[in-house]
């Protein structure tokens, strides 16, 4: 289908979803959130898609935040609905069951940082900037910023970024665990494509099990998480991919995984 605010492209088993509002620094309004939710639902249902890359159009911004011009007129009830729509999108991305890579070339502020944090891997240009500046607008982060930042970087970092609203560099975001890789701007696409290609040929059912074990088991006690892992490990033995992977190892050849 055609999207007003997104561009969807494919490269083999890799689907790239681009927020395409460069004149607004790819800010998230309600329509864009709805379109992103639909696009990720479609990616989840398409067996030909094994990896999703999420990025923003242009060089200035991944996503610079929520659309303030739209938010300015919200009532509290409308704001609540907007927050819930954003959080539902972030949860859809996080629980896609397929690896999602954020390609971050510029500003990832407010809702943009929240959108990046719900992705499983985040590759940033050295020029990227991160921050939760909502306090400067008299607001509280509304798309999961307080919660995912807490879990990624710890309480101290979450409080510092959210209370000061100050932006940080990509290198500082890497040191805090918010970013998984930082690369020079000129090799950003090369780094993202190489990572996406590596994940695209990995065993998709095993990838889904790993995502579940880390994301769901990680919210439980250690004993519950370990049991979650055991069940995921055992379930993998029911798949053709496990037989293919172990056979390929023993036969000293490259495995071909089919997601079965």
pLDDT tens, 147-168? 999 999 999 999 999 999 999 9
Q: Which of these is catalytic: 7, 70, 114, 229?
A: 114
Fold of 6-200: 2-enoyl-CoA Hydratase; Chain A, domain 1 (3.90.226)
What does the pLDDT read at residue 218? 82
The span from the CA of 64 to the CA of 27, in Å, is 5
What does the pLDDT read at residue 259? 86
What does the pLDDT read at residue 58? 95
Domain locations along the chain: 6-200, 204-250
Neighbours of 163 (CB within 10 A): 10
The span from the CA of 15 to the CA of 51, in Å, is 6
Q: Is 190 a catalytic residue?
A: no
Q: Is 114 a catalytic residue?
A: yes
pLDDT digits (tens, 9 = 90+) for 74-101: 999 999 999 999 999 999 999 999 999 9
In the chain (260 residues long), the average pLDDT of successive 10-residue segments reads 92 97 95 97 96 97 92 92 96 96 97 97 98 95 94 95 97 96 98 97 94 88 90 92 92 91
H-type alpha helices, the chain: 30-45, 68-71, 76-94, 111-117, 145-153, 155-164, 170-176, 188-200, 204-215, 222-236, 240-250
Please tell me the CATH code under which domain 204-250 is placed: 1.10.12
pTM: 0.93
What does the pLDDT read at residue 216? 86
Q: Which of these is catalytic: 59, 126, 134, 227?
A: 134
* Contact between residue 187 and residue 177 where contact means Cβ atoms under 8 Å apart: no
């Amino acid at each position: 289908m055609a999207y007003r605010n997104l561009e969807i492209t494919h490269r083999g088993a890799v689907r790239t979803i681009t927020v395409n509002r460069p004149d607004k620094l790819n800010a998230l309004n309600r329509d864009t959130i709805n379109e992103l939710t639909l696009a990720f639902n479609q990616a989840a249902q398409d067996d030909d898609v094994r990896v999703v890359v999420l990025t923003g159009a242009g060089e200035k911004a991944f996503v610079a935040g929520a659309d303030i011009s739209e938010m300015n007129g919200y009532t509290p009830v409308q704001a609540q609905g907007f927050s819930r729509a954003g959080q539902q999108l972030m949860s859809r991305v996080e629980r896609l069951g397929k690896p999602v890579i954020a390609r971050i070339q510029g500003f990832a502020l407010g809702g943009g940082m929240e959108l990046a944090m719900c992705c499983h891997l985040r590759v940033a240009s050295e020029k990227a900037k991160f921050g939760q500046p909502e306090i400067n607008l008299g607001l509280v982060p509304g798309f999961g910023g307080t919660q995912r930042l807490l879990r990624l970087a710890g309480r101290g970092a979450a409080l510092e970024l959210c209370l000061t609203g100050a932006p940080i560099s990509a290198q500082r975001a890497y040191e805090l665990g918010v970013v998984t890789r930082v690369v020079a701007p000129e090799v950003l696409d090369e780094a993202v494509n190489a990572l996406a290609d590596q994940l695209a040929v990995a065993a998709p059912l095993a990838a889904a099990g790993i995502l579940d074990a880390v994301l769901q088991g990680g919210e439980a006690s250690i004993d519950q998480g370990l049991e979650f892992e055991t069940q995921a490990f055992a379930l993998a033995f029911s798949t053709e991919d496990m037989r293919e992977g172990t056979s390929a190892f023993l036969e000293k050849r490259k495995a071909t995984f089919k997601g079965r």
